[in-house]
């Protein structure tokens, strides 16, 4: 099973992708995480990527396709995949079709998380991530606690692109460039819409039901 997790920034894609990946044994490919790894390496490419991300713009399709191609190549025979934050425009959706066909795979379903703008902004501005284990929390909706997280609060950091100014351009780009992909997948009859304004567990339960029905 290969899944695309689709939705605006702050919809909770990363959180749901982690649960799905763990419970359905799917390998997660998050283009945002791949880009942040590249930034950490402090290469010339990483520096260029950081400028783009901190503006809230999309990184070029060539860079993204290259990163996804490399990871698919490295992880041949890995089994099922879950894509988080990719594709982000129609061009990338078509590139993904080509890449995945080369691996003799197909996309089983696209889970589209929808949520209103005010919630998105609150979620993004409250988001903290652990730089050690990668878990994501939210000051307002899912605060870190000792039972949920044992790396310690010193590892909890804000993302450099989670600012009020950047959020606006990220939402605008989502509406103009990413949202049109919905029709592409609707036509293929693999699109499932999920109300992502609910609690994390409720959203996951609906997703679990969909994925379990696809497995049988
Ligand atoms: P994310 O972690 O998915 O929220 O992505 C953080 C930022 O990385 C985005 O705002 C973009 O600047 C960049 N990014 C992530 N995935 C993509 C993609 N598929 N195409 C272009 N830019 C991306």
86: CA distance to ligand 1 center in Å?
Answer: 8
pTM of the model: 0.90
Nearest alpha carbon to residue 11 among 203, 148, 185: 203
Q: Is 32 in the pocket of ligand 1 (CB under 6 A)?
A: yes
Tell me what pLDDT residue 79 has: 84
Q: Which atom of ligand 1 is nearest to the CA of 173?
A: 10
| Domain, as residue range, for 11 | 2-115+177-215
Rounded CA-CA distance 127/71 in Å is 27
Tell me what pLDDT residue 96 has: 96
Q: Is 12 in the pocket of ligand 1 (CB under 6 A)?
A: no
Rounded CA-CA distance 50/70 in Å is 20
Q: Has residue 143 been placed in a domain?
A: no
49: CA distance to ligand 1 center in Å?
Answer: 10
Helices 164-173 and 117-125, packing angle to 10 deg: 140
Tell me what pLDDT residue 131 has: 87
Q: Has residue 171 been placed in a domain?
A: no
Q: Which atom of ligand 1 is nearest to the CA of 84?
A: 3
Q: Is 53 in the pocket of ligand 1 (CB under 6 A)?
A: yes
CB-based contact 64:86 (threshold 8 Å): yes
Work out how many domains the chain is built from and give that number.
1
Q: Has residue 98 been placed in a domain?
A: yes
Q: Has residue 134 been placed in a domain?
A: no
Model pLDDT for residues 31-79, shown as the tens digit of each residue: 999 999 999 999 999 999 999 999 999 999 999 999 999 999 888 778 8
39: CA distance to ligand 1 center in Å?
Answer: 13
Q: Has residue 161 been placed in a domain?
A: no
Q: Is 63 in the pocket of ligand 1 (CB under 6 A)?
A: no
What CATH code is carried by the domain that includes residue 105?
3.40.50.300
Average model confidence (pLDDT) across the chain: 93
Report residues of the chain scoring pLDDT below 70: 216
Q: Has residue 69 been placed in a domain?
A: yes
Q: Is 64 in the pocket of ligand 1 (CB under 6 A)?
A: yes
Q: Is 92 in the pocket of ligand 1 (CB under 6 A)?
A: yes
Tell me what pLDDT residue 136 has: 86
Q: Is 124 in the pocket of ligand 1 (CB under 6 A)?
A: no
Q: Has residue 147 been placed in a domain?
A: no
160: CA distance to ligand 1 center in Å?
Answer: 13
Tell me what pLDDT residue 59 has: 97
Tell me what pLDDT residue 85 has: 95
Tell me what pLDDT residue 207 has: 98
Q: Has residue 197 been placed in a domain?
A: yes
């Amino acid at each position: 099973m290969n899944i695309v997790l689709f939705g605006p920034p702050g919809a909770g894609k990363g959180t749901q992708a982690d649960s799905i990946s763990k419970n359905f044994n799917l390998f997660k490919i998050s283009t945002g995480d791949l880009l942040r790894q590249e930034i950490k390496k402090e290469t010339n490419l990483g520096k260029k990527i950081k400028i783009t991300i901190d503006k809230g713009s999309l990184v070029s399709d060539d860079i993204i396709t290259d990163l996804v191609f490399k990871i698919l190549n490295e992880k041949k025979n890995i089994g099922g995949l879950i894509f988080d934050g990719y594709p982000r425009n129609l061009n990338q959706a078509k590139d993904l079709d080509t890449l995945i066909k080369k691996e003799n795979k197909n996309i089983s379903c696209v889970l589209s998380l929808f949520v209103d703008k005010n919630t998105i902004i609150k979620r993004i501005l409250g988001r903290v991530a652990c730089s050690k284990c990668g878990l994501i929390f939210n000051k307002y909706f899912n605060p870190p606690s000792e039972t949920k997280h044992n790396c310690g609060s010193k590892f909890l950091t804000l993302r450099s692109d989670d600012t009020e100014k950047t959020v606006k351009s990220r939402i605008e780009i989502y509406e103009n460039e990413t949202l049109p992909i919905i029709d592409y997948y609707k036509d293929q009859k693999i699109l499932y819409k999920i109300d992502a304004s609910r609690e994390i567990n409720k959203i996951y339960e609906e997703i679990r039901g969909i994925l379990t029905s696809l497995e049988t």
